[in-house]
Amino acid sequence: MSSLEEELVKPFTKNIAENKKVIEKIFSKNIDVIKRDFSFDENKNIPAVVFYTDGLVNTQVIESTIKALTIYEGKQNSDELTIDQIKKNVLRNSSVEVIYNYEKAIDGILVGDTVLLIDGYNRGFLLSTRGWDARSVDEPQTEQVVRGPRDGFTENIRTNTALLRRRIRDPLLYVESMQVGKKSKTDINIVYLEGTVKEGLVEEVKERLRKIKIDAVLESGYIEELIKDSPRSPFTTMQSTERPDKVAASILEGRVAIFVDNTPFVLLVPSYFWEFFQASDDYYSGFLAGSFFRSIRYIAFMISLTLPSIYVMLISFHHEMIPTELALSIASGREVIPFPVLIEALLMEIVFELMREAGLRMPKPVGQAVSIVGSLVIGQAAVQAGIVSPFMVILVALTGIASFAIPNYSASFSIRLIRFPLLIASGTLGLLGFSAVFTILAVHALSIRSFGEPYLAPATPFQPTDQKDIVFRFPWWKMDKQPKLAEGSEKREGQKLMPKPPEQNPDTTQDSKSNGNGQANGGSTNESH
C-alpha cells in the first residue's frame, strides 16, 4: 500500500488544522481545488473550512450554505452541538452525508461535492453541490426519425435517467448505481423494470460489470467490449442507442439498460439480430408503412452484404448464369480493364471506405462536399482512365447506399467487415467459396448468445407468438402479448387493443331517423350525458 493510500484510509481527527493539512497535501498541485476558511456559529466563532473543485459545483449553493453556518446563533452556555444536530438543524438547504475518513472526502471533492470540516469534530460533512456545465437535450445525431420524439441522451447520466422516467412512470422501474474504473470511477446505472425483466438477467449484468478491472471508462464502448458475449465475433451482440424512446420500449419488453456517465449512448441487453433493422419510425407510422420500410431494410442488408460478391463470382467463374445480352454488355465495359474483377472490386471497396471515413472525420460542411464530389470525380475519372468498369462503379455505389439504409451504425459496421472475406472467397473459389463462407457465418450466428439468449431468437428457436415484430410489424391490436423474454404476464396491460365501431341502440337509431332536427339522442338534455 502506497503512502497516499495509507493516508486516505485514516479517520478524521478533532483538530481541523490536521485535517486541512492532509487534504491540502493531497491537492497541493491542483489549482482548481478551492479551500474556503470561515467561522461557524456567530457567538462561538468555531473555525470551519470547505473544500470543492471549481467548475464542478454550483457556487450559489455553497455560498448560501456558508452564509447559514456563519450567521448561525448558538446559545453561549449550551452544550456542544452533535453531528446529527448540525446535519438536521443547521445544514437545512443541502443534501448532507456524514463522512469519517479522507478517502470519502477526496472522492466527493472530485465528483463535484463539497466537504465541510468543523473544528472539534472528528466527522465531516459531504454536501451535494454538483452543478457543472452540460450539453442541453438535443435531437439524436445517429438515429434521426421523420416522426417521433426529438430529444436524445446527453453526457449527463442523471439527465438521461430523467428522460427515461418521463416515459415510464412506474415505481417498479429500478435504477441501481455502481462505479467502474480504478482511476476514473465512472458512474454506471443499471435500469430495469421489476416484474418484467427475466429472472437472473439483472444479476448477470451486475456480475459482468463487477468483474471489469480497468483504470478508466471514458465511453460506453469500453463497457460493451468488456461484457458482451463473443467479443471476437463480427456480429455485435449489444445494442447502443441515444434515443430515450427506444430504451423505454426495450425496458418494457424485459431488457436491461446500462447508462454510463459522460456518454449519450446507452447499452441494451440482451439484443437480437433482428433488432438492428428496426427503427423508431416503424412504430410511430401505420403498420403497413412500418412493415414496408422494414422489409426495404432487409433487402438493403442482403444487397450490402452479397451484391459485390455475387457479381465477382459470376464474372470470374459462372458466366453461363448471366443473360447473354447482359454478359456482352459487361464484357464490352471490361475490355480495357487491366485488373482481374476481384482486384477491381477490392480496389473500389477500399476507395469507397476511404471516402466514407474522410467525410466522417472532416468538419460537416466540408466532409459532405468532399464525399459527394470525391465520389463523382473519382468514379468518373476511374472509368475514363480504364481502371474500373462502369458496372463496378454502379455496384459499389449501390452497395454503399444500401449500407446507409441500416438504422444501427454498429450493425452497418459489422456488415462492412463481413463483406470483405465473403468477397475474397467468391473471387477465388466461386460459388463454392461464397456458399462456404456464408454457411460459416450463418452457423456462427446460430451459435452465439447475448446474455444467455439465442442471438437469432425468436426465429431460431422458433417462437410463434414473437413473429409479429420481426420482418413485418403487425398492428398493435395483434401484438397483445409480451415477448417471451419478459417474465411478466403474457397479456399486455389494458383492454383489448383492436378498435371497435361505436355500438348503436336500435331504438335510438329509429328515433334519430324520425327526428330531423339532429337532436334525436336527447339534444341538450342531461340524459344524453
Q: Which pLDDT tens digit goes with each residue over 167-181?
A: 999 999 999 999 999
> Domain range holding 443?
283-454
Domain boundary among 251, 271, 291: 271
Please tell me whether residues 264 and 352 are part of one structural domain: no
DSSP H or E stretch at residue 365 = helix 364-384
Domain boundary among 434, 454, 474: 454
Please tell me whether residues 262 and 287 are part of one structural domain: no
Domain boundary among 435, 454, 473: 454
Please tell me whether residues 186 and 235 are part of one structural domain: yes
Cα distance between residue 500 and residue 498, in whole Å:
6
Instruction: Enumerate the β-bridge partners of residue 173.
Output: 193
Please tell me whether residues 73 and 216 are part of one structural domain: no
User: Is residue 19 in some structural domain?
Assistant: yes
Please tell me whether residues 27 and 50 are part of one structural domain: yes
Please tell me whether residues 438 and 300 are part of one structural domain: yes
Compute the average pLDDT of residues 42-71.
Answer: 88
User: Is residue 493 in some structural domain?
Assistant: no
Please tell me the predicted confidence (pLDDT) of residue 190. 96
Cα distance between residue 363 and residue 371, in whole Å:
12
Comparing 79-83, 141-145, 168-172, 252-256, the range with the smallest average pLDDT is 79-83
What's the DSSP call for residue 246? H
Cα distance between residue 415 and residue 306, in whole Å:
10
Comparing 214-228, 283-297, 480-494, the range with the smallest average pLDDT is 480-494
483-500: pLDDT as tens digits: 777 665 456 554 455 556
3-class secondary-structure state, position 61: helix
Rounded to 5°, the CA angle 472-144-308 comes to: 65
Tell me if 23 sits within 8 A of 43, measured CB to CB. no
Cα distance between residue 164 and residue 190, in whole Å:
12
* Res 117 pLDDT > 70: yes
Compute the average pLDDT of residues 202-229.
Answer: 94
Please tell me whether residues 162 and 240 are part of one structural domain: yes
Please tell me whether residues 255 and 296 are part of one structural domain: no
Q: Cell triple for residue 379?
A: 468514379
**DSSP track, 402-453:** HHHT-S-HHHHHHHHHHHHHHHHHHHHHTHHHHHHHHHHHHHHHHH-EETTE
Residues 6+ apart with CB under 8 A from 25: 7
User: Is residue 488 in some structural domain?
Assistant: no
* Res 195 pLDDT > 80: yes
Please tell me whether residues 263 and 355 are part of one structural domain: no
User: Is residue 229 in some structural domain?
Assistant: yes
Please tell me whether residues 208 and 61 are part of one structural domain: no
Please tell me whether residues 394 and 440 are part of one structural domain: yes
Tell me if 363 sits within 8 A of 449, measured CB to CB. no
User: Is residue 437 in some structural domain?
Assistant: yes
Q: For residues 248 and 390, which has the higher predicted lDDT (pLDDT)?
A: 248
Strand order in the sheet with 173-180: 173-180, 186-193, 256-260, 266-269, 239-241
User: Is residue 435 in some structural domain?
Assistant: yes
Half-sphere exposure of 463 (CA within 13 A, CB side): 16
Domains of the chain: total: 3
Q: Which of 426, 131, 191, 412 is nearest to 306 (CA)?
A: 426
User: Is residue 304 in some structural domain?
Assistant: yes
User: Is residue 70 in some structural domain?
Assistant: yes
* Res 518 pLDDT > 50: no
Please tell me the predicted confidence (pLDDT) of residue 176. 95
Enter the pTM of the model: 0.83
Please tell me whether residues 306 and 326 are part of one structural domain: yes
Please tell me the predicted confidence (pLDDT) of residue 513. 44
